[in-house]
Structure 1
Amino acid sequence: MTGKSLFMAGVSLLLAAILNTEASACRSCMNQGWNSTYNGYCNNQNWGWYGARKSVTSIEEARRTLEEYYAGSEVMVGRITEKTGYFQADILSRGNKLMDRVIIHKRSGRIRSIR
């Protein structure tokens, strides 16, 4: 192998190791049960939900984001209302009891509990 080829192979292996480490770090976060409103963030550019940096422009987008965030849990997304800088949503138990009230910031997509 030439020096250039060896260098490229080394860089490729290093990049693969770094990307795998980041992915396993976020899997580790999720495995520890950190998928709640305040702790659902891993410092990774590919992370979504709480850490997402994407604008939410409609009630439908807010509902999709919340349903994705709460997927696999025992709660449902209830009524969503639009406010000036955010959307407000009711989080309901399976018995339609209000468990939490959250907001989704329109510019950043951040989810926060307000109840």
Structure 2
Amino acid sequence: MMRGKLLLMVSLILLAGALLHSEASACEQCGCNTTYNGYCSNQRWGWYGARKSVSSLEEARRDLTEYYADRDVQVGKIVEKTSYYEAVILDRNKKPVDRVIIHKRSGRIRSVQ
């Protein structure tokens, strides 16, 4: 019985070490942790979980444009709501492919379509 508990504890410690090592490897390769959609604690932070308020339509457009910079889409019309901005994401033919929100207080971006 004691041997089984010891084996379980050692296994959990090894698993935790492996997970931490894989996250550290992701940070070494690109400077960010890709596990949480690009969130970094350094100057190259991403959007998921980062606390960065968005207080204007211009800031929302800038952040969304940055977020989608490596994709073949563009940010369309943005509408201000009470606690978030809602934006339409367009493909190269100006057809809607997604609808996203960016929260004013946290800056988190979420697809709502």
* TM-score of the two chains, using structure 1 as the length reference: 0.66
Aligned to 2:27: 23
Contact 1:56 1:106 (8 Å CA) reproduced = yes
Mapped partners of 1:49, 1:94: distance in 2 = 24
Aligned to 2:37: 40
Percent identity of paired positions between Structure 1 and Structure 2: 57
Contact 2:27 2:33 (8 Å CA) reproduced = no
Matches within 5 A, 1:65-80: 65-80=63-78
Moved over 3 A (4+): 20-23, 25-30
**Counterpart code for 1:113:** S
Matches within 5 A, 1:1-115: 23-24=27-28, 26-27=30-31, 40-42=37-39, 44-46=40-42, 47-115=45-113
Contact 1:59 1:80 (8 Å CA) reproduced = yes
Q: What is the aligned residue count?
A: 88
Secondary structure of the residue that 1:65 maps to in structure 2?
helix
Deviation at 1:23, TM superposition (A): 3.4
- The answer for unaligned runs of 5 or more in structure 2 is 1-23
Mapped partners of 1:53, 1:25: distance in 2 = 24
Secondary structure of the residue that 1:104 maps to in structure 2?
strand
Deviation by residue 1:9-30 (Cα, 9 ceiling, x = unmatched): xxxxxxxxxxx86731655755
- Larger relative contact order (C-alpha < 8 A, sep ≥ 6)? 1
Contact 2:101 2:110 (8 Å CA) reproduced = yes
Deviation at 1:72, TM superposition (A): 1.8
**Counterpart code for 2:37:** G
Contact 1:89 1:102 (8 Å CA) reproduced = yes
Superposed CA RMSD in Å reads 2.4
* TM-score of the two chains, using structure 2 as the length reference: 0.67
- The answer for unaligned runs of 5 or more in structure 1 is 1-19
